[in-house]
Amino acid sequence: MKRENVYSVCGMCTVRCPMMATVEGNKVVYLQGNPHAAGIKGALCARGAAGGALIADDERPQFPMIRAGARGEGKWRKVSWKEALDYVAGELSRIRETHGARSILLSDRGGPFRDMHRAFLKALGSPNYCNHDSACARNVQHAALSLFGFGRKDVAYDYKNSKHVVLQTRNIFEAINVKEVNDLLDAKDAGCKITCIDVRSTVTAAKADTFLMVRPGTDYAFNLSVIHELLTRDLYDKDFAAAWINDLDALRAFVAPYDPEFAAAETGVPARRIRDLATQLAAAAPAVIWHPGWMTARYGDSFQVCRSAYIINALLGSIGAKGGLPLVNKPAHVGKKGLKQLVDLFPKPADKRVDGVGWMEGRSHFEAGPGLVNLAFEAMVTGEPYPIKAYIAHRHDPLMSFPDTADVKKKLDNLDLLVAVTFSWSDTAWYADVVLPMSPYLERESMIASKAGAAPQFFVRKRALAPRFDTRADWEIYRDLARHMGVKELDFDSIEALWDFQLEGTGVTIPDFEATGMVKLGGPLNRPVDDKTFKTPSGKIEIVSAKLEADGLSSLAPYVSPASPPPGRYRVSFGRVGTHTQGHTVNNPLLFAQMPENELWLNAGEAAKLGIADGAMVEVRNGSHAGKLRAKVTEGIHPETVFMVHGFGHTLPVESRARGRGVADNELMPQGIDNWDKGGGGVCMQEHFVTVAPA
């Protein structure tokens, strides 16, 4: 049989690394990173390499289903696509007629392939598109906007040319972006220093030149002390600050009490090490990256942690600098036209967002784009400012990604319709009224997407395999729903017709993608900071944000020492591992074999007090919820906290491998979705305390 190489985009996590699949006879022979993509070096992480096992797995949704029992009971009726789409379209039409289009909500995991389903929602007339980011990086996004007037993705991380990288709430060697990992390792070989700040000794900490273990919840104190050192010792970039930073005197006065001795008492890191770090950063500037965080839905002050990280970058002159945080280029920056968008075919909905984002008092400083889905869930319960009655969860599992599954279910119970569009089983899909099965990424093509960077480009995911089961690509699902609801603008006969629409006027054609799966539009272009860079009222970096202040929030919020755990309790912390992507890979046959369950990291001194040996079974409990798992007794975690890899503790009978293995950290956070950071919007998921006892 003939072998063929098909350019695709990995779908095993939200990084979406460019890849190439070698196929023969509708089977995957080999998966690798796209050899033409800069920095990938033909590599994939463990998750990406297990994409073939996702295709082979029979324990995933195989056909459309409509609920035949109570929600979550697991009784389903297999139906045709026509019946499923008729049902969903009929219910959406009924709900729109009864409650208005604004009562329809859709959430996803973000990313570059959103245009079709966002356009579908906008065509219905609803303003309520959300993504998962309040459980991930909203604090980072809003921190960037509050300072620069642009978002977190308008700057890149030039790891390859950096001289010093600080990784704080960014476990880069386990929550993997292949290009970033390769670039950072190349930089390390060239002499770049890595500093890791964390509550435990991660793989990133093991590869760092310096590891600083901080008391949980004290990162803000640490960062303020570094700012204190940069300013009081004149280690900052005075020329950059004079040209581009407003309110420097206010910042200087604010950080005056937060010297390294103060931070040492809070964090446990000796003052001399904080001073030494500031000295090293100044020597390496501007080729410095202090990462503002990736998943930052952690503490009540995580927004300020992100904000202070960006301020440190600004003080070191690394914004826009080689080896720092260079400005990314979009097609227009290199004289090219961007992709045509489906969302632009429809008028802006007349109603305001249900989550209050962008308009409600206390929430007007938030970016309206993807909103805060946790606040949309509030409206399901209260009906204020209006009710939400239909919810499409597109590749999104809020029942596992947010705290306390039972609490979130109570909110979803107020819905008339819950639809899951998914390629794998999840708690949310199991609780849905309708499951519309999406083909896994190797079995579907996607819309052409645009990637900003030094050299902006378009890229495409092509279908490598015909679907094994009765599943469809996401663009097909929403195209077909649009047909059922009379939305003619989204009625494309083929993916090629859709691609042609997107490429209209760009000068790029579909055959241009054949050679590498990508089309570079120009560059690389290194743009210096100028008077058009910052999208703030002053055109500069604004330490004091008028939008924050108008919403009653302090731009320079005083540090508040985190609560110490009550006697006999430990703060819950969680994170990633190189083998799994949250919950959706735990039942993957290959990845399950590598890591079938999670462990509870427990400080060795605390374990001795509790009489717990390494590898022993323990019970971890918060209130009525408890789970059992093995203890990993180690000196490499702060004594005030315990740690679990997120995504375990599955309960679904359709997941024979993952079911009953490990513990779900989100279940140890009772009603935690209601505790969220008013500055950045992130849910505060590490503000919960558990007991640990021998099982």
**pLDDT tens digits, one per residue of 300-337:** 999 999 999 999 999 999 999 999 999 999 999 999 99
Confirm if 199 and 319 have CB atoms less than 8 A apart: no
321-336 burial string, b = 16+ CB within 10 Å, else e?
bebbbbbbbebebeeb
Spatial distance between the Cα atoms of 537 and 547, rounded to a whole number of angstroms: 10
582 vs 689: which has the higher pLDDT: 689
**In sequence order, which residues have a C-beta less than 8 Å from that of residue 279 and are 6 or more positions away?**
235
Find the mean pLDDT for residues 556-564.
96
Mean pLDDT of 146-174: 97
Tell how strand 3-9 and strand 18-24 pair up. Answer: antiparallel
Q: Which segments of the chain belong to CATH 3.40.228.10?
A: 155-326+537-551
Report how far apart, in Å, the C-alpha atoms of 666 and of each of 213, 297, 399, 571, 673 are. 24, 12, 9, 13, 10
CB 640 within 8 Å of CB 647: no
Q: How many residues does the chain have?
A: 695
Q: What band does 196 get if pLDDT is binned at 50, 70 and 90?
A: very high
pLDDT at 43: 96
Alpha helix locations (H) across 202-348? 203-207, 219-232, 238-244, 248-255, 260-267, 271-284, 302-315
Q: Which band of pLDDT confidence, cut at 50, 70 and 90, is reported for residue 24?
A: very high
Mean pLDDT estimate for the chain: 97
Rounded Cα distance between 513 and 508, Å, is 9
- Arch. (CATH architecture) of 569-694: Beta Barrel (2.40)
Cα–Cα distance between 84 and 649 in angstroms, integer?
A: 30
The pLDDT score that the predictor gives to residue 1 is 79
> pLDDT (tens digit, 9 = 90+) per residue, 228-242?
999 999 999 999 999
Report cis status (omega within 30 of 0) of the bond before 403.
Answer: no
Is the domain defined by 155-326+537-551 classed in CATH 3.10.290.10? no
Give the model confidence (pLDDT) of 164-177 as tens digits.
999 998 999 999 99
pLDDT confidence band for 40 (50 / 70 / 90): very high
Would you say residue 515 has pLDDT above 90? Answer: yes
**How confident is the model over 67-82, as pLDDT tens digits?**
999 999 999 999 999 9
| Euclidean distance between CA atoms 428 and 128, whole angstroms | 19
The per-residue pLDDT for 126 is: 98
Contact 105, 126 (CB under 8 A): yes
Amino acid at 480: D
Reading the block at residue 447, the tokens are 């819309």
Predicted pLDDT at 53: 95
What's the pLDDT band for 444 if we cut at 50, 70, 90?
very high
Q: In three state form, how does the secondary structure of 27-50 look?
A: EEEEEEECCCCCCCCCCCCHHHHC
| Interatomic CA distance for residues 439 and 442, integer angstroms | 8
**The predicted structure's pLDDT at residue 263:** 98
Contacts of 387 (CB under 8 A, 6+ apart): 99, 103, 379, 380, 414
In the prediction, which pLDDT does 583 show? 87
DSSP state of 350: S
Residue 288 φ/ψ, nearest 5 degrees = -130, 140
Is the pLDDT assigned to residue 582 strictly greater than 90? no
Tell me what the mean pLDDT of segment 458-476 comes to: 97
The stretch 31-36 carries a mean pLDDT of 97
Q: What is the pLDDT of residue 442?
A: 97
Angle at 174 between CA 173 and CA 175, to 5 degrees: 105
Fold of 3-56: N-terminal domain of TfIIb (2.20.25)
Give the CA distances from residue 499 to residues 15, 61, 339, 504, 515, in Å, rounded to whole numbers and listed in that order.
22, 28, 9, 9, 17
- pTM listed for this prediction: 0.97
Q: Where in the chain is the domain with CATH 2.40.40.20?
A: 569-694
For 481-514, what is each residue's pLDDT tens digit? Answer: 999 999 999 999 999 999 999 999 999 999 999 9
Domain spanning 65-136+335-520, CATH class: alpha beta
| Residue-level pLDDT at 16 | 94
> Over the stretch 334-344, which tens digit does the pLDDT of each residue have?
999 999 999 99
- The secondary structure of residue 577, as a DSSP letter, is B
CA distance 515 to 20: 12
Q: What is the pLDDT of residues 371-382, one digit of tens each?
A: 999 999 999 999
